[in-house]
Amino acid sequence: MRGLWSKMRVTEAPAPASAGGGSRSNTLLTTSNMAVLNIGSLNLDYVYRVDHFVRPGETLAASHRAVHAGGKGLNQSVALARAGATVLHAGCVGADGGMLLEVLKGEGVDVSMLAVHESEASGHTFIQVTEDGENGILYYPGTNGRVTVESMLLALDACEKDDIVMLQNELPDTAGLIEAALERGLRTVLNPSPFDASLLKAPLERLYALIVNETEARGFLADEAEGVEAAGLMALLERRYPDVNLILTLGSRGACGRVPGAEPFFVPAVKMKAVDTTGAGDTFAGYAVAALAAGEDLRTAMNHAAKASAISVTREGAATSIPRRSEVEALAV
Least confident range of 66-70, 81-85, 179-183? 66-70
pLDDT at 321 over 70: yes
pLDDT at 212 over 90: yes
What is the pLDDT, as a whole number, of residue 332?
82
- Ramachandran category for residue 33: left, alpha or beta (phi over 0 → left; psi -120 to 50 → alpha): alpha
pLDDT at 19 over 70: no
Among 212, 216, 312, 219, CA closest to 255: 212
What would the pLDDT profile of 244-256 be if each residue is shown by its tens digit? 999 999 999 999 9
Measured distance CA(204)–CA(173) in Å, rounded: 14
What would the pLDDT profile of 155-174 be if each residue is shown by its tens digit? 999 999 889 999 999 999 99
The amino acid occupying position 31 is: T
Q: Which sign, positive or negative, has the C-alpha torsion 293, 297, 302, 304?
A: negative
Q: From residue 324, how far is each of 56, 254, 276, 311 by CA, in Å?
A: 39, 21, 18, 10
* Position 29 in a domain: no
pLDDT at 4 over 80: no
* Position 176 in a domain: yes
Measured distance CA(209)–CA(181) in Å, rounded: 13
CB atoms within 10 A of CB 33: 13
What is the pLDDT, as a whole number, of residue 24?
32
The amino acid occupying position 58 is: E
What is the pLDDT, as a whole number, of residue 2?
52
pLDDT at 313 over 50: yes
Q: Is 163 a catalytic residue?
A: no
State mean pLDDT over 13-34.
39
| More confident call, 133 vs 262 | 262
pLDDT at 301 over 60: yes
**Which of 162, 223, 282, 297 is the catalytic position?**
282
Measured distance CA(213)–CA(217) in Å, rounded: 6
Would you say 141 and 62 are in contact if contact means Cβ atoms under 8 Å apart? Answer: no
What is the pLDDT, as a whole number, of residue 276?
85
Q: Which sign, positive or negative, has the C-alpha torsion 205, 206, 209, 215?
A: negative
The fraction of the chain above a pLDDT of 70, given in percent, is: 90
* Position 12 in a domain: no
SS3 225: helix
* Position 2 in a domain: no
Confidence label for 300 from pLDDT (cuts 50, 70 and 90): very high
pLDDT at 45 over 70: yes
* Position 22 in a domain: no
Domain of 173 in residue numbering reads as 35-330
Helix axes 72-82, 98-106, angle to 10 degrees: 20
The amino acid occupying position 269 is: A
What is the pLDDT, as a whole number, of residue 1?
61
Measured distance CA(166)–CA(186) in Å, rounded: 10
Domain count, the chain: 1
What is the pLDDT, as a whole number, of residue 5?
39
The fraction of the chain above a pLDDT of 90, given in percent, is: 77
pLDDT at 30 over 60: no
* Position 24 in a domain: no
State mean pLDDT over 23-51.
74
What would the pLDDT profile of 237-283 be if each residue is shown by its tens digit? 999 999 999 999 999 999 999 999 999 999 999 999 998 888 899 99
Confidence label for 6 from pLDDT (cuts 50, 70 and 90): very low
Phi, psi angle pair for 20, to nearest 5°? -95, 5
* Position 286 in a domain: yes
* Position 3 in a domain: no
CATH number, residue 72: 3.40.1190.20
